Amino acid sequence: MQAAFDSFARSREDFRVSAAAWDIVTDHISRCAEEDDREDYMLLTLCELFLKSGTKVMLEEVEDRPELNGLYADVVGKCEDGYFPVHVAEIDEHCSVSVRSLRPAGFDSRPQPDFKIRAVADEGGATGFIYTVGLSGLGGSVMYPMLTEFGREMFVRDVESVAKLMNFLVSRMEEGVPVNDEQLVQSNGLMMASQLHTAETAAEMRAEYHLEQPEGSELIELHPVVSCEGNDDMWGRILTQADARAMAAQAGL
C-alpha cells in the first residue's frame, strides 16, 4: 500500500490536490498508531483524491497476472475490498486489480471532463462566443444539478485563454468552492465575472445562440472585467497593474 500511496502522493499536483488538503491527509496519517489504520486511511485518500472512475493508471507488481505489468488501464468503477475494476485497453480486458498495483500513468492521469469547449465567430470577426458542450463542473450534484458555461463578446485572439479560464473555474468547483453572481475569476491573464442563469433563462440563451447544451441545464455566463483592484472574492492570482493595462488596451479603453 505504501508504494502505491507514495507514487500518487508525488503526482498530487497533477491531480489538483491542494496543499491544504494534503496537509490534512499527512497530519491524519501521522496520528495513526496502528499500521492497519494507516493503510485504511491511505486507501480512503486514494479513493477520494486520485482513483476516481476515468483515471488512467499503470499496472505494476500484479503478482497473479504478471503479463499485465507495465500496461496502462482506466479505472472504471469504485473500490471494493481494496480492488479496483479497470479496463486494460491494449488487450481489451476488464479485470479487478489490487490498489497496491496501481500507479500514476505518467501523463495526465486525471479523468477527462464531461464537457468540451466550442468557440464560434464570424470569419475575420474580432469577437465571438464560447461555450461548453455537455455538463461542466459538478454536473449531477445537489449543488449544481446540471451546469454549463457560456461567454459572449469574447476576443477571438483570447479564445485559448478563455477556455483555460473555464477549465480553471470547473477545477475550483470540483474542490467544493461555490460560484456566486459577480464572482471574479482570474486565470491565464484574463479576469471575468460570473452571472448565474436559471434553467429557464438559460433555455432562452440556448435558443438565441443555438447552444448545444442539455435541456434543463443551468448556465454560468462569463463577462470580461477590466479592474486594477483585487478582492477577497476573486479567484486566481492577484491582478497586477500590468494586467489592468493590458486588459484596458484589449478593451480599447
Q: One digit per residue, pLDDT tens: the chain, 253 residues? A: 899 999 999 888 888 888 888 999 999 999 998 999 999 999 999 999 999 888 999 999 898 998 998 899 999 999 999 999 999 988 889 999 999 999 998 755 556 666 788 999 888 888 899 998 877 765 545 555 678 899 988 888 888 888 888 888 887 777 677 788 888 888 767 888 899 998 899 999 989 999 888 888 889 999 888 643 444 444 444 344 555 566 566 666 5
pLDDT given at position 250:
61
Q: Which of 239, 231, 197 is nearest to 216 (CA)?
A: 197
DSSP secondary structure code for residue 80 in this structure: B
CATH code at position 63? 2.30.30.140
**71: in domain:** yes
Is there a single domain that holds both residue 141 and residue 207?
yes
**35: in domain:** yes
- Please tell me the distance from the alpha carbon of residue 204 to that of residue 67, in angstroms, as a whole number: 55
pLDDT given at position 160:
85
Task: Let me know: does 162 contact 179? Beta carbons within 8 Å.
Answer: no
Is there a single domain that holds both residue 126 and residue 244?
yes
Q: Which of the listed residues 41, 70, 104 is the one where a domain comes to its end?
A: 104
pLDDT given at position 54:
86
Q: Which of the listed residues 104, 127, 153 is the one where a domain comes to its end?
A: 104
Task: Let me know: does 193 contact 244? Beta carbons within 8 Å.
Answer: no
Task: Let me know: does 78 contact 51? Beta carbons within 8 Å.
Answer: no
Q: Which of the listed residues 83, 104, 125 is the one where a domain comes to its end?
A: 104
Is there a single domain that holds both residue 126 and residue 69?
no
**110: in domain:** no
Is there a single domain that holds both residue 150 and residue 66?
no
- Please tell me the distance from the alpha carbon of residue 59 to that of residue 61, in angstroms, as a whole number: 7
Structural domain for 159, as ranges: 115-250
**62: in domain:** yes
Is there a single domain that holds both residue 45 and residue 145?
no
pTM here is 0.50
Q: Which of 115, 183, 195 is nearest to 151 (CA)?
A: 195
Q: How far lies 81's CA from each of 5, 57, 196, 222, in Å?
A: 16, 19, 42, 44
What is the number of domains present in the chain? Answer: 2
Is there a single domain that holds both residue 75 and residue 162?
no
Centre a 10 Å sphere on the Cβ of residue 208 and count the other Cβ atoms it contains: 9
Is there a single domain that holds both residue 121 and residue 246?
yes
Distance from CA of residue 160 to its chain's centroid?
16
Q: Which of 147, 139, 145, 121 is nearest to 209 (CA)?
A: 121
